[in-house]
């Protein structure tokens, strides 16, 4: 191994990664690594929306799901996954597998792998997650989300209002407490921030003291408070939602 080569072990799966060519060596153009994967273990999740992925199985067998289509490669088998295609792999066999992989461009894969190497299995099984916002007056909150944001709850249970906001579950719940209102409590990604600003003005909703924040070439954002004092952020990203990109990578991303 050269001075820049290094190895990592992922404690949750036992996978061992050996970096043969790093992003630093290629100026970010590529990263090359070997994977030693135990039997019946899943490989480290890979993004595919902005990378070409090249694989060669050196020993054992590996199963791949490429764009939802599964295939199994024996030793000597090769596979190239084009940009824009999701890919995951696992060892369904009874023996360890050995893989050589090349990702182009490198993106932040090494940093992502390092982060995964510090994870520990917490033995908790999370089956669902959702955002919660308090409302001292749920009917007042219902009117705000309907009249300002055009949202209607899809369910109401014991005074709790259930919404679907861009695929994210949001629960407005009765509470005698007050939100601090000094930090974002719910964020929304929009296609055109100017349309939102015009809508707010038309509906008599004022922006917070933050005004409109602009990061040239990256994003623009603005904030309002709902009827209960919860701080809502609205952001437009020049390159599209980074959160949607993460979701499209199926099992995580490292962009």
Q: Where residue 236 sits, what CATH number does that domain have? A: 3.10.180.10
Same domain, 139 and 244: yes
Q: Per the domain annotation, does 67 fall within a domain? A: yes
Would you say residue 123 lies in a domain?
A: no
pLDDT of residue 176: 87
pLDDT reading at 226 higher than 90: yes
Express as a percent the part of the chain with pLDDT over 70: 87
Contact assessment for residue 230 and residue 161, using Cβ atoms and an 8 Å cutoff: no
The answer to whether residues 72 and 163 belong to one domain is no
My answer on whether 99 and 186 are in the same domain is no
| Mean of all residue pLDDT scores within the chain | 85
* CA terminus-to-terminus distance, the chain: 26
Same domain, 135 and 103: no
In a domain, 126, yes or no: no
Say if residue 105 is in the same domain as residue 152.
Answer: no
The helix/strand count (H/E) of the chain reads as: 5, 18
Q: What proportions of the chain, in percent to the nearest 5, are helix, strand and coil?
A: 15, 40, 45
pTM strictly above 0.85? no
Give dist(CA 111, CA 54) in Å, integer.
19
Do both 109 and 159 map to the same domain?
A: no
- For residues 23-45, average pLDDT: 92
Name 224's bridge partners: 232
Shared domain for 160 and 216, answered yes or no, is yes
The answer to the question of residue 227 being in a domain is yes
Residue with the two structure tokens 């067998």: 61
pLDDT band at 243 (very low <50, low <70, confident <90, very high): low
93 versus 181: the higher-pLDDT residue is 93
How far apart (Å, rounded) are the C-alpha atoms in residues 72 and 84? 21
189 assigned to some structural domain: yes
Among the candidates 117, 145, 165, a domain finishes at: 117
pLDDT value for 195: 92
pLDDT of residue 84: 78
Which band of pLDDT confidence, cut at 50, 70 and 90, is reported for residue 229?
Answer: very high
Two tokens, residue 106: 């490198």
The predicted model gives 197-213 an average pLDDT of 92
- Assess whether pLDDT exceeds 90 at residue 11: no
pLDDT, tens digit, for every residue of 134-187?
A: 999 999 999 999 999 999 998 898 899 999 888 789 999 999 877 776 788 898
DSSP summary character for residue 44: P
Q: How confident is the model at residue 241 (pLDDT cuts 50, 70, 90)?
A: low
Handedness of CA 146, 151, 153, 154 (dihedral sign): positive
109 & 14 share domain: yes
Residues 96, 143, single domain; the answer is: no
Out of 45-49, 53-57, 95-99, 205-209, pick the least confident.
Answer: 45-49
158 lies in the same domain as 230: yes
Quick one: residue 120, left, alpha or beta (phi over 0 = left, psi -120 to 50 = alpha)?
Answer: beta
Question: Which structural domain range is residue 206 located in?
Answer: 131-248
Q: What is the per-residue pLDDT for 39?
A: 93
The pLDDT-based confidence of 120 (bands split at 50, 70, 90) is: low
pLDDT grade, residue 122 (50/70/90)?
low
Q: Are residues 46 and 103 in the same domain?
A: yes
Structure letter (DSSP) for residue 26 = H
């Amino acid at each position: 191994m050269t001075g820049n080569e290094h190895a990592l072990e992922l404690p949750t799966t036992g996978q061992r990664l050996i970096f043969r060519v790093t992003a630093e060596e290629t100026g970010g153009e590529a990263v090359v690594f070997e994977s030693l994967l135990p039997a019946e273990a899943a490989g480290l999740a890979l993004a595919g929306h902005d990378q070409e992925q090249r694989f060669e199985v050196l020993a054992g067998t590996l199963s791949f799901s490429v764009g939802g289509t599964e295939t199994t490669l024996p030793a000597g088998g090769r596979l190239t996954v084009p940009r824009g295609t999701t890919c995951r792999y696992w060892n369904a066999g009874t023996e360890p597998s050995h893989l050589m992989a090349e990702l182009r461009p490198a993106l932040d894969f090494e940093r992502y792998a390092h982060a995964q190497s510090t994870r520990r299995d917490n033995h908790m099984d999370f089956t669902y997650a959702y955002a919660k916002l308090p409302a001292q007056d749920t009917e007042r909150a219902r009117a705000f989300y309907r009249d300002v944001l055009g949202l209607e709850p899809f369910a109401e249970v014991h005074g709790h209002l259930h919404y679907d906001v861009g695929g994210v579950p949001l629960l407005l719940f009765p509470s005698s407490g007050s939100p601090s209102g000094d930090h974002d409590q719910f964020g929304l990604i929009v296609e055109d921030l100017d349309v939102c600003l015009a809508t707010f003005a038309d509906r008599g909703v004022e922006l917070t003291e933050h005004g409109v924040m602009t990061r040239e070439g990256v994003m623009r954002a603005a904030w309002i408070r709902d009827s209960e004092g919860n701080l809502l952020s609205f952001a437009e990203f020049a390159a599209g939602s980074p959160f949607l990109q993460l979701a499209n990578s199926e099992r995580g991303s490292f962009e």
